Structures are given as structure tokens and as C-alpha cells.
Amino acid sequence: MSSSLSVTTSVTPINELDSLSQYEISRLQDKSNTGLYQLFRKCALAVLNCDSEMDDTREVMRRFENFDIQISQKHRGIQLDLINAPDTAFVDGSIIAGIRENLFSVLRDILYVGDELDLSYSRLQPSQAITNEVFHILRHAHAVRPRAKPNLVVCWGGHSIGREEYLYTKSVGYELGLRGFDICTGCGPGAMKGPMKGATIAHAKQRIAQGRYVGISEPGIIAAESPNPIVNELIIMPDIEKRLEAFVRLGHGVIVFPGGAGTAEEILFILGVLMDEKNGHIPFPLIFTGPASARSYFDSIDQFIRGCLGDDVARFYEIIIDDTAQVARQMKAGIAGVTHHRRKTSESFHFNWPLHVDYDLFQQPFEPTHAHMAALDLHRDQPLHQLAANLRRALSGIVAGNVKESGIHAIEEHGEFELSGDVELMRSLDRLLQQFVEQRRMKLNFARYRPCYRIKH
């Protein structure tokens, strides 16, 4: 639970960012539209507000409207002054070590993207430039490990899941950890926290001292999905599209747990990428899994995907119900195939360079305005991977309307987003979203949920 209590204190970094230039400090404290202060304050608050049961960005900002963060250069290095910070980030007045690390990871990534990263890449094609930007951010965060064999499993799933599903994600993480796999998630609660928690226990049993728990977020969602303190490598990407690309470039396989609109968005992204004929030769293990009680959920997901994108799409994923050890075994076999392929083709272990991510469909940031949502092409007379991209954008807009500050404001000002397209396609999407609502997967605080969308059949 979020606490109404607050703490005012100062913290310093441990391992990195010992010093900053005066220009960098001024940018971080600049409260104008061109400064970094507001972005830094929001992301820092999200990190400090760990274990929160709020997933409404504006509510988080209102609850802690008196929170402030100041940065200064002391004789021993930089110092962050936290004013009225959530007390859940502290134990007996001392900040939790993992939260302290993540706080300075936020500082690192915001500065790097905002001031240091050369985004021009004038000699590259637009798609190559985006992929290089993703690579440079990950490398700067020390997430790219050239000498490590493929063993990073991405786990996707909802932040609003029940206790049984959470324990299942933890058990899958445990089985993965026993087999030496590291975990990468969206860094928040629920299905993003469970696999990491399970893996920590397994890593301890296997005497794996340097287990990786990579959390990838972005400024628009981080306050709604505060990073859990198990994350020991927090990375802030500039937007949701680069966040999704970072998952599939850095990870070697994906496991999908039950979730809501955000999880469906992730599924459509990875399927849209894998369906592109340019990626036909690239192995990428993808497993959907949950406890026995989630069977109907994955039946609905499978039915929706097949109904929208055709039965052939099912060849890209495997559904395993209520068998955590089998999930880990299948992922192990899949990543062995990835390793063999990359050895054979002399491709990088640490970054999936050959994977083609279409610039227009999956790399261009989609702004979920009412006009853009209404204009989405949700008809069948287009290539299937293009339809997957447009459905992904529709779900991205619904996520924004549910939990992101800009989306919530747009809904309050102009009413629900409207989506229209082929009748059967719209009916299928409507059924899926209604099931998310009935299963309480849209938001943490179900009692206050109101649909931010209207689907025209």
C-alpha cells in the first residue's frame, strides 16, 4: 500500500555517476518545457513509490504533489536531496539499496538520452538509426554483455493479476533460475515481479551470485508500474516502441503470462515482427503460459489472434498450461536453438541485430490522440503483420487511456477513444477487452475502472 508518510533525506550514488557537469545539473533542475526536471521528478517518484497499489499516473502525482528532488555537486560527488519522498522506499530512515540503485539508473538514462546521445545517425536509414539508438542506450546501461551466452528470458504479463497467477509466475521464474537463466521484465509489479522473485531463490540455490534482473520501462508508464526493488538493472527507454524493441533485441526468448491490454499489445508486437517474411529464418522462442485457472484466458487470446491474423500465426508460439518445469525446459531448448543459429551465422549473442523491425509499423512512436485512434486501419485487406501493428496501436491507446497521464487527460477532455473497422474484427476485439474487464485485468483498482474506449461494430 502507498503510505501518506514521507521522508526527507539525501542520497549519493554507489557505483556510477559520481560526478556531473554544471550543464547536466542545470538541465536536470530546469523546470521549463525544454528542461529535464519534470521528467526526472516523475521517474524518480515512480522508483521511490515501490509496491504501490496505484496504477493511475495522475493519481500518483497528486498523492505526492509535495515531492521534490534536488541535485547538487558536493566535494565527494553528486548528491540527490529527496523532499517528501514516499516512506515505503526506506527502512528505519535509510533508503533500500535496490531502490537507490534504480534511482541513479533513472538519472543515468534521462541524461544520456536527453543530452549525450547523438540521434542524428545521418548516414543510416531511419530504421537503422532507431535500432542503433536502442543499442546505444542498452550499452550505456551496461545491459549488453558480449561475452555471455544467450540466457536472458523476457517475461511479459499483467501488473493486475490475482494471487494464484502471481505465484505461478514466481514458480516459472524459479524453474528458469534453476537452469541458469536471467530474467528481463517490464520492471513493475504482478507478472513482472513474480519471475524475478522466483529466480532469486533458484539463483541462490545454484550459487549464481551475479543473477540479472533487468527491468525495461519508459517515462509514460513508469509511474503506473513502479519498478520493483528486485530489479538490479533498470533501463528507461524514450518511448513504448523503443521499449518493445529493446525487449526483443536484448532477450533471447519470451514468456507471456496472463495480462490485460498492455500484454495483448506486447503479443501483437512480437507476432507482427515474427510474421514479417524478412524474419522467417530467425528462431525466437515464444511461450504463453499460466496456471490451470488461466486456460480460458489463453483460449481467448489464441482465438483472438487466430481470428484476426489467421491460423498460421499459431506456429510462432506454444501454449503450456499449469506446468512450470515444462515451460523452463521448452525455453531452454528454444534458446539452445537461438545459440546454434547465432553461432552458425556468426551473429551477436548479446543483441539481435538481424531481426527486422519495420520502421513505419513498429518503430515510429504512435501518439494515441482521438484523431489517431479513430484513423487506425483495422480492416483485413492489408498484410497480416501490418494489421497486427495497427491492432497493437489500438491497444497501446487503451493502455494510455487507462493509466498514462496524457491519455487520462485526453479522455477527460474529449471522451472515450473510438475504434472502428471490419465488423467481425471489431466484435472480436470488443469480446477480448470485455473479458479483460470481467477478469479485472485492466487496472489495479477495479472498482474505479471506466472504459476509455468505444468500439463501433
Domains of the chain: 6-116 (3.30.1850.10), 145-345 (3.40.50.450), 363-456 (no CATH)
Cα–Cα distance for residue pair 252/338, rounded to 1 Å: 7
Cα–Cα distance for residue pair 173/195, rounded to 1 Å: 4
Cα–Cα distance for residue pair 409/314, rounded to 1 Å: 37
Phi, psi of 118 (to 5 degrees): -80, 110
pLDDT tens for the chain, 457 residues long, are 444 577 888 888 876 666 677 777 888 888 887 778 888 898 888 888 876 676 677 778 888 889 999 887 765 567 889 999 988 889 988 899 889 988 888 888 888 776 555 555 556 788 888 998 899 899 889 998 887 899 999 999 998 888 999 999 999 999 999 999 999 999 988 999 999 999 999 999 999 999 999 999 998 888 778 888 899 999 999 999 999 999 999 999 999 999 999 999 999 999 999 999 999 999 999 999 999 999 999 999 999 999 999 999 999 999 999 999 999 999 999 999 999 999 999 888 999 999 999 999 999 999 999 999 999 999 999 999 999 999 999 999 999 998 888 888 899 999 999 999 999 999 999 999 999 988 888 876 656 678 899 998 6
- For residues 339 and 149, the answer to whether their CB atoms sit within 8 Å is yes
Q: In what order do the strands lie in the sheet with 6-11?
A: 6-11, 77-86, 68-74
Q: Is 50 helix (H, G, I), strand (E, B) or coil?
A: coil
Cα–Cα distance for residue pair 349/219, rounded to 1 Å: 28
Alpha helices in 125-260 (DSSP H): 126-140, 163-178, 194-205, 219-222, 240-250
Instruction: Convert 291-302 to b/e letters by CB count within 10 Å (16 or more is b).
Output: beebeebbebbe
